[in-house]
Chains A and B, each alone.
Chain A
Amino acid sequence: MKVLVAVKRVIDYNVRVRVSEDHAGVDLAHAKMAMNPFCEIALEEAVRLKEQGIASEVVAVTIGPKAAQEQLRSAMALGADRALHLEHDEALESLHVAGLLAGVVEEEQPGLVLLGKQSIDSDNNQTAQMLAAMLGCGQATYASDIRVAGESVTVTCEIDGGLRILALQLPAVISVDLRLNEPRFARLPDIMKAKKRPIESRAAQSLGVDLAPRVRTLRVDYPAERQPGVRVDSVDELVDRLKNEAGVI
């Protein structure tokens, strides 16, 4: 069974984002970029499925500018067998990404597609569900455990009230959560080898998906700052202030 993993290039999660001067967006120039943390987990799971002899091939795919090939190199260093790049310079919406991924699924015919549950830049949490809809297949979101057996996959999903375990027929689309696994670090020799491996790159437009924007960002702002707080010196002072100043207890 082939496993397709969608990986996205995003700003590193440690970087503090800045609103651009004209408030048109955030300033990403010179910001440190990385693989979306949830995509790292999706990739790790795919690689483990291969190590267990369940997956036959792990294919990583990214949609983004030329620089996103960096994340594909990381994916190969971490164990992806092949890397597909759909080049596109402008930011895309989840609907477009899902449409493009559906095109890739059509060509590659994977048994399982793994995605992150959420991009840490857009915080959309949409692409996996949209892709599953387009493919007409089952979906599981927030996966914290994945077990493939024959023609089906059993997935533990983290939900608001606890855990829900679902069984899906393959092919299926799964979005993964933080507790699914602990991604490994790439080893230096693997990083060196990955540098020489081919990346199958082509224009995103070549898939014939309508990529016209549906949503326009009118402006971006910092949220209202909280009023500066005070230091209290004792439990007595804290309780007193909560009671008599804030009126919350």
Chain B
Amino acid sequence: MSSEQTVRTLVVAEQSSGEPDAATARVVAAAAALGEAIEVLVVGSGAERAAEQVARLAGVQRVHCCEAAHYDHAAAENTAALVAGMAGEYTHLLAAASTTGRSIMPRVAALCNVAQLSEVVAVQGPDTFVRPIYAGSVLATVQSDDALRVLTIRPTAFDAVGAQEAAPVAALAAGEDTGLSRLVDEQLVSGERPELSSARVVVSGGRGLGSGDNFRLIEAVADRLGAGIGASRAAVDAGYVPNDMQVGQTGKMVAPELYIAVGISGSIQHLAGMKDSRVIVAINHDEEAPIFQVADYGLVADLFEILPELVEKLPRHES
């Protein structure tokens, strides 16, 4: 039935101040695994500038651009209404499984009265997808019977597409402002460090660090490697570091080239967020810690002794 249907995909991209989110090129890669007809929607203030860049992502055939401030700050109610209004033209609607995508896409699916599939990590056909369940302990292969498939894509599971000659960009008339929610404030962490979910190297600290102050040791290692900094939930709950640094089932999913876990025990919930990293290093003074079961290189040692030495001996990152 469904596999004979012509695939036409709309990717809902994220942008801020005219910069498309890095995950967009990865979501487009997932769209390319479905079929060739790929269009992208960009909304909010700065959409026109972001659209120019998105149009150059390989495989994109058309970009719809809706420059209107009532789509800013991931306004889920307004954005979902706009996307649902366009849905009739498409067989697949895709977005990144970011906090934004995960807020908007279920709302879109409900407006269209179809199911939604979260955190897709592999596309096996137009109607068949793989997604982790139970904190990534198992992978489910699922088939969707709906005529419209609404998916969020785990960006780390797909390699970003390359570049192309710019595809056409079409302006899209804004929908109404539903007025259902209003932004009061936004407190964004402005990082000079690489963004956690796209960093090549991530260094994470856990409860073993003992205090927020001690995270300076993690920072020193990260500085050497040009790395992003992550944390376990225990470290975030204890107030050592802010919540946006949490890696795991309920935090961020990362899959860098190198992940260094320091003073982290390796709970299933933490592993869910990092076990697809290419190389994993664990530093922990408890040789029984479960983190060693996923580590390529395990060092049983006191972190307070080891980290200063590590900083000393790591080659300096060239940026």
Contact = CB atoms under 8 A, between A and B. Distances in A.
Interface of A: 11, 13, 16-17, 19, 26, 93-95, 98, 117-118, 120-134, 137-142, 144, 154, 157-169, 177-179, 213-223, 226-227, 229-232, 235-236, 238-239, 241-243, 246, 248-249
B144 A215 contact: yes
Given A215-B144, A239-B313, A154 B184 contact: yes
Given A95-B116, A223-B136, A249-B225, A129 B106 contact: yes
Interface string B72-103: 01101100100000000000000000111011
Given A11-B134, A93-B115, A217-B140, 15 more contacts: A124-B116, A139-B180, A157-B99, A159-B99, A160-B98, A163-B186, A214-B146, A223-B132, A223-B136, A226-B280, A231-B299, A232-B298, A235-B299, A239-B314, A249-B201
Contact of A178 (B115, B136, B233, B296): B233
Given A164-B73, A168-B180, A238-B299, A16 B268 contact: yes
Interface in B122-145: 128, 131-145
Interface stretch (B62-70, B169-177, B206-214, B241-249): B241-249
A248 B278 contact: yes
A159 to B, nearest CB: 4
B297 A238 contact: yes
A209 B102 CA distance: 24
Interface string B32-71: 0000000000000000000000000000000000000000
Contact of B141 (A129, A159, A220): A220
B302 interface: no
B6 interface: no
Interface string B12-49: 00000000000000000000000000000000000000
B265 interface: no
Given A124-B118, A134-B110, A166 B182 contact: yes
A16 to B, nearest CB: 7
Interface hub of A144, A162, A215, A218 (most chain B Cβ within 10 A): A215
A127 B116 CA distance: 10
B7 interface: no
B82 to A, nearest CB: 13
Contacts of B132: 123, 223
Nearest to A25: B140
Contact of B135 (A123, A132, A144, A164): A123
Interface residues of B, number: 87
B300 A231 contact: yes
A126 B237 CA distance: 24
B293 to A, nearest CB: 8
B1 interface: no
B80 A140 contact: no
Contact of B275 (A129, A140, A213, A226): A226
B296 A220 contact: no
Given A140-B181, A223-B138, A229-B292, A158 B110 contact: no
Given A165-B184, A242-B258, A229 B298 contact: yes
Contact of B243 (A121, A140, A158): A158
Contacts of B128: 218
Contacts of A11: 134
B257 to A, nearest CB: 5
A242 B113 CA distance: 50
A133 B116 contact: no
5 contacts: A139-B181, A162-B244, A164-B186, A226-B294, A238-B310
Contact of A229 (B73, B242, B244, B280): B280
Contact of A159 (B100, B139, B184): B100
Contacts of A236: 313
A93 B133 CA distance: 13
A235 B298 contact: no
Max chain A Cβ within 10 angstroms of own Cβ: one of B119, B128, B141, B269: B141
Interface string B274-298: 0100111100000000001011111
Contacts of A154: 184
